[in-house]
Amino acid sequence: MASIKVRQNGPYLVDGDDVTLVDWNGVSYPVPRRPFAICRCGGSSTKPFCDGTHSRTGFAAAEAAVPGSQDRPASADK
Ligand code: FES
């Protein structure tokens, strides 16, 4: 089973052996270890992976899971 953990003011932490990270052409990125972190701040020089830049730039993410929220993914509205 795969999991994606949203780190507070940090990257997405992806874990699971059944996860493949691919670009827009479907070409796989080599993943050196698991779990691995995907940049969420946009500042990494090793995108799509996190290189720790978020901690130096003071990246502050607003998103958090809200229990009981009525929000749904955009695709759920179609
Ligand atoms: S989230 Fe870590 S460098 Fe962007």
pLDDT of residue 73: 61
Q: Which of 11, 19, 14 is nearest to 3 (CA)?
A: 14
Residue 25 confidence (pLDDT) above 70: yes
* 77 alpha carbon – ligand 1 mean position (Å): 30
Residue 77 confidence (pLDDT) above 70: no
Is the minimum distance from the CB of 44 to ligand 1 under 6 angstroms? yes
Tell me the pLDDT of the chain averaged across its residues: 89
* 40 alpha carbon – ligand 1 mean position (Å): 5
Residue 55 confidence (pLDDT) above 90: yes
pLDDT-derived band at 75, boundaries 50, 70, 90: low
Find out whether 10 and 55 touch, Cβ atoms under 8 Å: yes
Closest atom of ligand 1 relative to the 55 alpha carbon? 2
The structure's pTM equals: 0.80
How far apart CA 62 and CA 3 sit, in angstroms, is 21
Residue 46 confidence (pLDDT) above 50: yes
Is the minimum distance from the CB of 36 to ligand 1 under 6 angstroms? no
